Amino acid sequence: MSERFIAAVGRKFVSRTSAEELGALTHAAVDVKKRQVTSLVTGKGRKAALVDWDQVSGFGPDAVMVADESALHAPRDDHESAAVDGKLELIGKRVLSDMGEDLGEASDFVFDPATGAVETLVVGEKEVPATSLLGAGSYAVVVKASG
């Protein structure tokens, strides 16, 4: 069952072993080439932490389950620091076609909560298939021109 990412923002991270709340989902890092959520972020600034997608044991309608507190970690490199800073986030970025056409702003993306696979990018009223994703940077997301 697919899910819109915006609907998941604010969902609590919960440890399976302690049943403690570990934080709330703020944004996601997406590998555009693999069309995959690579990590989820909780918190902001110095208090931000990441959960690698392979550490997510359940992504339900009420909580994101992880094995224990050790699933959350501080950024380990520049790529993870960019994820914490929201630079790898798709939402809020300008969407441009590879022909240079401004398609609007990405307002959401649809993903499979069981696998983290990105299915579509939501731009205004349109859904752009994830297979059209070519690249993403701090300014824009580039997609294949339709047609």
Average pLDDT for residues 30-42, to the nearest whole number?
94
Average pLDDT over residues 111-115: 96
**Which pLDDT value is given to residue 21?**
96
pLDDT at 89 exceeding the cut of 60? yes
- What integer pLDDT is reported at residue 38 of this predicted model? 93
- Indicate if 63 and 99 belong to the same structural domain: no
Q: What secondary structure, in 3-state letters, does 93-130 show?
A: CEEEECCCCEEEEEEEEEECCCCCEEEEEEECCEEEEH
Asked whether residue 50 falls in the same domain as residue 109, the answer is no
Q: Are residues 99 and 60 in the same domain?
A: no
Average pLDDT over residues 135-144: 92
In-domain check, residue 44:
yes
Residues 119 and 47 in one domain: no
In this prediction, residues 43-61 reach a mean pLDDT of 92
pTM, entire model: 0.90
**Looking at the structure, do residues 80 and 101 belong to the same domain, yes or no?**
no
Are 72 and 99 contained in the same domain?
no
Q: Determine the pLDDT at residue 47.
A: 86
SS3 79: helix
> What's the pLDDT score for residue 147?
53
Q: Are residues 15 and 70 in the same domain?
A: yes
Cβ neighbourhood burial of 117 (10 Å; 0-12, 13-18, 19+): middle
**Predicted local confidence at residue 137, as pLDDT:** 87
- What is the pLDDT averaged over residues 91-112? 96
Q: Are strands 102-111 and 3-4 parallel, antiparallel or unpaired?
A: antiparallel
Q: What is the pLDDT of residues 12-21, one digit of tens each?
A: 999 999 999 9
Neighbours of 96 (CB within 10 A): 19
In three-state form (DSSP H/G/I as H, E/B as E, the rest C), the secondary structure along 26-37 is EEEEEECCCCEE
Domain assignment present for 17: yes
Do 79 and 130 share a domain, yes or no?
A: no
Domain containing residue 121: CATH number: 2.30.30.240
* Same domain assignment for residues 7 and 79: yes
Whether residue 89 lies inside any domain: the answer is no
Q: Are residues 79 and 98 in the same domain?
A: no
Same domain, yes or no: 60 and 112: no
